[in-house]
Structures are given as C-alpha cells and as structure tokens.
Structure 1
Amino acid sequence: MTHNHNVSALSVTRNNDTHTKPSSITPQALVAFCDDYLEASAFKDYAPNGLQVDGGQVITSIITGVTACEALIDAAIAAKADAIMVHHGYFWKGESEPITGMKGRRIRKLMQHGISLIAYHLPLDAHPIIGNNAKLAQILGLTITGALYPHESHPVGNIATCLPQSAASLSATITQALHRAPLHIASDFSPSNINSEKTIERIGICTGGAQDMIDQAALMGCDAYLSGEISERTTHSARELGIDYFACGHHATERGGIQALGDIIAEQFALKVDFIDIDNPA
C-alpha cells in the first residue's frame, strides 16, 4: 500500500502497510543484505557504503531519503525511526575530518536518538534494476541498451533509446516525470537560433553530478546526454561536441534508487519503510 503526503517541504511515501506489525533486523544484518544485493564491494567510491553510523539498536522502522541532511534526521526523529537510509551520506573524500559544526550536530542527533545511518552511493547509481539510472530511464519511457563506459565491469552511466523525438518533446517528458523543467542546452545553438532542431533517439544517462560524462556520451554517438547538474563548461561542451544536454537536477534524478531499495527492504523483511522527500531545487 502506498500513501503520498505533503507536509510543508516534506513529501512522505509509505512503502508498506502500516497496519501490519513490522519485524526487526540488526543494522549489520540489513547492511549485509544490501551489500550483497547492490554488489557494493565492487565499487571504488568517494564515501563509505553501508553502515556509517551505528545507532546501537535493532531496526523496525526506516526513513529513506536522497541526502542525510538535518531536516531528514529531524523527520526521522519525529517518526521514531530506528534507521535512515540514503544515497548521499557522510564522510566524503576531501572533507574536513573533525566532527564539529554542522557535521557534529547531525551525528549527535543520530547518536542521541539511537538512529543508524546507512548510505549507498555509486552502487545505488549503477544497479541495473533499482539503480538511479535504471529508475530514471523507466519513468522517462527510455529503454537502456548498454553502458556509457562499456569496458568497465560495473559501469555507472548508461545508454538508452527512445522513439525519435524533438528536444522540446523530451523536455516535456522530463518535466512531467520529475515535476521540474530541465535546463536544455541545444547542440545547434547560434545567436539567431536558440532552439534545437535535432531529432533525439539515442541518449546517454548518468544521474547526479555527472555532467562531465558528456564527452563520453558524445564519443558513444549519443544525440543527447541527460544528467543532474550543469557546469559553466558543460554549455560549451554540448555545442562543440554536437550533443544536446539536459540538466534535470541532482536531487530530482536521484530519488528513484533509494525509494526502490526501500520497497525491497520493506517486502523482504516486513519492516516499516517511509520515503521522505526533502525539497531541493539543485
């Protein structure tokens, strides 16, 4: 049973029937299942995948979300959840190591309320069934046909096909599916023509902050490339490489994977799993 609620800046989706008493599982056992399902050990990532903060208690209720921000933690506390599971967790390479300031407040709240934090980054992007790329392709009506980097054993980006259509048609589909209009950079831009006339059929996809993979998408013969973010250089790359670019939002393109993982966990272990969407325009 699925319920949708809008509470201020929060959108909550329940992944299982709350009238059924949930089971329980240890954080370690839950992570072992997710590690195996997502093949997490195969990825060289920018942050640790799996259990990042051990709340010290068994899990019966989970809040899922895209990013482990303080607003998501506060929502989990209000819901009396035992764990938070996200795509963007903590302890990224290159960040300051002391647990002070914003990081200190976040982790202190988790520990004080006995909430475990579990995060999966690249494994949740790349999974062929529930990954962010796979779920994004699904809601856009695209068919994944291969990998953006075909020689990698666990490629993150994908190539997909669609019925031949204009850039305006694809933009409309993205807007309807993600509830936000993408920023479109036309490959055939000129001062007198800002609207692309190209027919799009072969599309490179990599959600989130993967705008620089546009070079690989062009190399693989894609008509367009779709990701989350855009940099100043991306505009020039699109025009000079002859490939249309759609920046659809980092957050907006990465809601699908964590929701799908939550669905699997709810079904597999009879746990209460709610997805909470903290609005983020980026």
Structure 2
Amino acid sequence: MKLIDGKKISSDKRAEIKEEVAKIKQQTEKIPGLATVLVGGDPASRVYIKSKIKACEDAGIKSFHHNLDANSSKEEIIALIKKLNENSEIDGILLQLPLPQNKDAQECLNAVSPLKDVDGLHPFNAGLLNLSKSWNEIIEKNILVSCTPLGVVHILHKSGIIIEGKTAVVIGRSNLVGKPLSMLLLANNATVIMAHSKTRNLKEICKSADIVVAAVGKSKFVNKDFIKTGAVVIDVGINRTSEGLCGDVDFDAVKDMDIKITPVPGGVGPMTITMLLENTLKAFNNRKRYLSNRMP
C-alpha cells in the first residue's frame, strides 16, 4: 500500500493561495472575504466552522461569521443570506450543512448569489458544471464547484495519477460529493460509473475499476473484495465511531494490498477546506470581472 498524502498536497496549495491573496491585496488594496453561516450549535459543524475561519486567517482572507439560533426560521436564514449577498466585502458565502429541524436546505442555498456560491451548490453553478465539456473549460471559466470533489481531483492530479482513459467508480450520489465528482472525473476523460445503495453487484463493479471513490457515508463499508490490485482508492468518508475517526474504507482490511489510498484522517479532509479558500479566490475574481463588465 502507498499512502496519498493529502495533508502535504493541501499545505502546498494553501501556500499558493496565501501568496495569491497577498498579491491581490498589493495590486487592488482589497482582501477577498468569506462569510460562514452556522444555524444551531451542532458540535461537528462548530469544529468545521472553526477550522474554516482559522484557514481564512492563515491565508489572509477576511472572515465573517454569523451564528443563528437553531430555531431560526427558513425565512430568517434567507434574510441573512440576502444581506450577505449585498455586502461588497464578501466574495463567498458558505451555509454550513446540515441545517437543524429538517429546514429546506436547498431553498436556503438557492438564495445565495451564484457569484458567491463557494460550495458550488446553487443550481446555476451545478448547471455550468454539467454543461462543461472538459476540465480545461471548468478551469478557464472559473466555475465554482463543490469543494470536496474539487479536492479529490486536485489530489489525483498532484499525485501524478492519470485519470484519462481510466475506469472510475464513485460510490455515492449526493449533490455535495457523488454527482459533482462524477462530472469532474468525466471532464478529465475517465469512464465513470456512479454507484449507490441500489446498485447490484457493487463489489464486482468496483473490482473492475482503476479508481474507486468511497463516498457512501458508511463506516468501513469498502473492503478488499471491492478493490483490485493496483487500484487508486479515494476515501471521502469521515465517520465518528467508538474507535475514533475512520473512513468509508476498511483501512486495516486493505493495508496489505498493492494500492494507492488516501488515509482518514489526513487524506481528502484537509483538501476540502483548502478548496473552499481556492473557491473564495475564484469568486473574488469572478465578481471583479462581472462588476467591471457592468460598468458603462
């Protein structure tokens, strides 16, 4: 087994982002800004938000945090988002999910300006991704894509793993990971199979894949029966168990195999926040271009 060092890849990328933010500040006297919104006090969400705020500070990005009561109505959440849309200091808005009390998260996400949608979950940005013909087009158009899938592709590129022509199986079909990641891999010319809980013969399908992405949300779901020799395994899962953090892949069961794999923790996790910073920079540049085009 060879471990893919997501921490190192993330650290290198954050250094690049910090340099770019400093350059923007020097050239424009402006600082990219990210607003985070947390509804309620879910402990895991609090940890994520704290990490995001710290990452912004380290990169030189201005951070604006808003904490709403768990009982806040959908209308109150949307009202706050609209205020953030109008704030010229804010380039990106992140609504921390999940929302409490089964509030309509998508309706709240739809209220975010597509130009400030750093999570890539607005239908406008999801549509742009789905309409993209290639990875180059996604990069050239600065399309805002969900952070975790973007981080996965960055890990593959920086690890020297060839995607083009490979068969990739993505286990999971969420709007946050499975669907956008499948589109990103397709844009990199992989042959993509999107698998899920209703997929028949899942082990056999995964066993034929060159790249297996586990994003199913089930602790140690993927074992050695899913993976062929020489495969690349990307573990997106973060599950809190009595034994501590573990991924969707049974690490102990595959550790003696001849594969490349992202560990949990230290694999995909660090890249998610790094890509949030990257998307904030993209949003800054996109807004700057959009506003300049509107000027008479």
What band does the TM-score fall into relative to the shorter chain? 0.3 to 0.5
* Structure ranking higher in helix proportion: 2
TM-score norm. by structure 1 comes to 0.38
* Structure ranking higher in strand proportion: 1
